[in-house]
Every structure is written in C-alpha cells, then in structure tokens.
C-alpha cells in the first residue's frame, strides 16, 4: 500500500481529534508533521507528538495538509494553504474561509464524493452542524425530494473550541462552590462565549447579520445548498449553544416533495452509510449527545409525521461534532483522495 506524508495544522480540539482519527483508521502515513504557532510536545491518548512551529518550508514534501481551522476566525489556511499547495500538497481545510469559494469543493463523502475532482488544491470541510444534518437528509432527498427544512440546533461548547469548554467547566465549578444559591454568575472572568453557559442556553452562535440570522445559521443554509447542489430548498435555522461538552443535537423538520412514511424513512436509514437509527419511543430510546461522543455515526431518532402537513416529517439528529462534524469528515475526504 502506498503511504503518504501528512501534515496536521493546529492542535486544538479538532487538531487533536484529527491525530486520533488518523491513528484509529490506520491512514497510510509515511511521515507525519504537526504544526502550530509554537513548537512543543503534546500527548493524545498516551502518544506523544512533537509539534513544530508552522512555516512555509515545513510543507515541503507533504502530500495532504489537514488544517484543523477555528470557526468564526480566520484560520491558518488563509496564510498557509497556498504555501502548502505550491509545495505539492492538497489542502483539506476545516475552517470556514474557503467553503463558499466557487473553485473549492465542499465535500461530505456520503453525499458528493465526486466533487473532490473539481479541486484546485483546496477541499473544504463543511460546518459541523451542516454535516450531520445533510448526512441524515440526503437519503430522504434522493428518495422523496425535500422542499423545505426548518432546523433548531443545540450545539455543544466544544464547537466553539477549548476556550468555551474551559468556560463551561469554570462556571460549573464556581456555581458548585456557591451551592447554587445564585445561578447567575456576576463576577468577571475570561469568557469565550457571549453569555454564561452553565445552567443556561442562548440562541447565538456566530455573529448576527442579514435579516438578524447569525453567521452559523446562514452557514446551514448556504452550505446545504452547495453540498446538495440544490439552492431551491427553503431552509431556516436557529442555532443554540447548550451546556454540554461534546455532541450536537438537531431538531429537524422537513417537507418532502413526495409523501413518505416514518417507517419508510427508517428503512432507508438502515441502509444508508454513516447513519444509525435509535428510535423506540415506548422505551424512551433516542439518540443523546453523551452517547454519541467518540462515535463516528450520525444518530437519528424521534422520526414522526406532522399531523397537520401531508408531507411534513420531524426527526432528532445527534453526532459528535469533533468527529463526523470535523476531524472524521476531513480524513474521509483524504481517504477518497488516495483511493482516486
């Protein structure tokens, strides 16, 4: 088997997950380089990796460069993607900087694998909440068409990076010491999120923009249109930050073009790649973020029809946002590249 020189750029939550997934999936690596702003050693699952300070010359000889990216910020790929490309690498970027560029394919391997052929050096990884939604909806789209999507996402702290997870843990510790007498934290502390997260939820992920929707909500719309090659689907989103560490939940409502029953949807899901159905209401059996953490699948449950709209369906979708929502999807793209 041919082996490849791989670079991982960034050692935050997603970068470390990329290192974990590369090892778990036995990606054929000849040489691995890990880059960040400063050199140091890190340990992931008991394995020590030497991190080098990123520089243009560091990409010499690299075949595939995986950029971990940071949502809401200009990622390292803005500065270094072209440096990697001119030295012969193909860039797979988890950040948001290139996703809507018409020359950059936006890929979910279960949906649009052929789009990678269009790359000109960069392939973009979609947003975490978009990935799990389209994985669940694509099999239905192929069978019955989808006219409308309404989604409310309940997104974990880790989707905003390590700083948001630290904020949640610090808030929980503070409230524990105060015996929960005052659930609102009044003292000042370093915050990665715009609101207190412990014992709270708030409907803002990203910045507010057009029509008072957030940037995260518009990502759901525009990325779905691009991945599914259908900009006629009417999509409306509300994104909510919730006080859990990892795992995004989504309440998704769809209106299909053709009528399809919940039982037919379950049957389609059972045969679809990357999806696992957990749907037994009588036993209170449905997906939960805590059960999805560390797993690769997109989990679907609570599949039910709208009692008032002929072609309306509800479902509940959960996935590990650091794995299928980021690291795993990026490495699945890399696997497609070497297969082709």
Contact 128, 219 (CB under 8 A): no
In DSSP terms, 122 is beta-bridged to 91
What single string gives the DSSP state of each residue in 210-246? GGG-BHHHHHHHHHHHHHHT-TTSEEEEEEEE-S-SS
DSSP strands (E only) in the chain: 4-9, 29-36, 40-44, 47-53, 64-67, 90-93, 122-124, 146-155, 234-241, 248-256, 275-277, 298-305, 312-319
> Please, which contacts does 36-42 make with residues 24 or more away whose CB atoms are closer than 8 Å?
36/9, 36/10, 36/11, 42/11, 42/16
* Cα separation, 292 vs 297, whole angstroms: 8
Contact 65, 75 (CB under 8 A): no
How many Å is the maximal CA-CA distance in the chain? 61
Helix (H, G, I), strand (E, B) or coil at 330: helix
Residues in the chain: 340
CA 11 to chain centre: 16
Count CB neighbours of 73 within 10 A. 12
* Cα separation, 140 vs 260, whole angstroms: 9
176: left (phi over 0), alpha (psi -120 to 50) or beta: alpha
* Cα separation, 173 vs 316, whole angstroms: 31
Please, how many CA atoms are within 13 Å of residue 143, restricted to the half-sphere of its CB?
18
Active site residue ranges? 128, 248
Contact 99, 223 (CB under 8 A): yes
């Amino acid at each position: 088997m041919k082996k490849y020189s791989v670079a991982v750029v960034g050692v935050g939550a997603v970068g470390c997950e990329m290192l974990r997934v590369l090892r778990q999936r036995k990606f054929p690596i000849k040489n691995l380089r890990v880059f960040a702003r400063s050199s140091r050693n890190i340990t992931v699952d008991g394995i020590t990796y030497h991190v080098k300070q990123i520089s243009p010359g560091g990409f010499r000889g690299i075949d595939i460069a995986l950029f971990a990216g940071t949502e809401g910020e200009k990622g390292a790929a803005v500065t270094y993607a072209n440096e990697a490309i001119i030295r012969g690498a193909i860039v797979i970027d988890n950040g948001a900087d290139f996703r809507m560029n018409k020359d950059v394919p936006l890929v979910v391997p279960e949906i649009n694998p052929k789009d990678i052929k269009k790359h000109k050096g960069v392939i973009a990884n979609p947003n975490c909440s978009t990935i799990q939604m389209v994985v669940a909806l694509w099999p239905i789209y192929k069978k019955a068409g989808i006219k409308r999507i309404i989604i409310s996402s309940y997104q974990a702290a880790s989707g905003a990076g390590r700083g948001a997870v630290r904020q949640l843990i610090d808030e929980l510790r503070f409230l524990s010491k105060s015996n929960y007498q005052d659930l609102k934290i009044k003292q000042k502390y370093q915050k990665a999120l715009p609101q207190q997260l412990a014992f709270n939820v708030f409907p803002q992920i990203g910045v507010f923009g057009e029509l008072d929707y957030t940037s995260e909500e518009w990502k759901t719309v525009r990325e779905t249109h691009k991945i599914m090659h259908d900009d006629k689907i009417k999509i409306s989103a509300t994104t909510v930050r919730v006080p859990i560490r990892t795992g995004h939940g989504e309440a998704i409502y769809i209106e299909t073009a053709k009528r399809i029953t919940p039982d037919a949807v379950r049957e389609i899901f059972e045969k679809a790649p990357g999806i696992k159905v957990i749907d037994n209401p009588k036993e209170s059996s449905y997906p939960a973020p805590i059960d999805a953490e560390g797993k690769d699948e997109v989990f679907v449950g609570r599949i039910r029809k709208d009692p008032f709209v002929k072609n309306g369906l509800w479902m509940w979708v959960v996935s590990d946002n650091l794995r299928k929502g980021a690291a795993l999807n990026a490495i699945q793209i890399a696997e497609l590249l070497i297969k082709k």
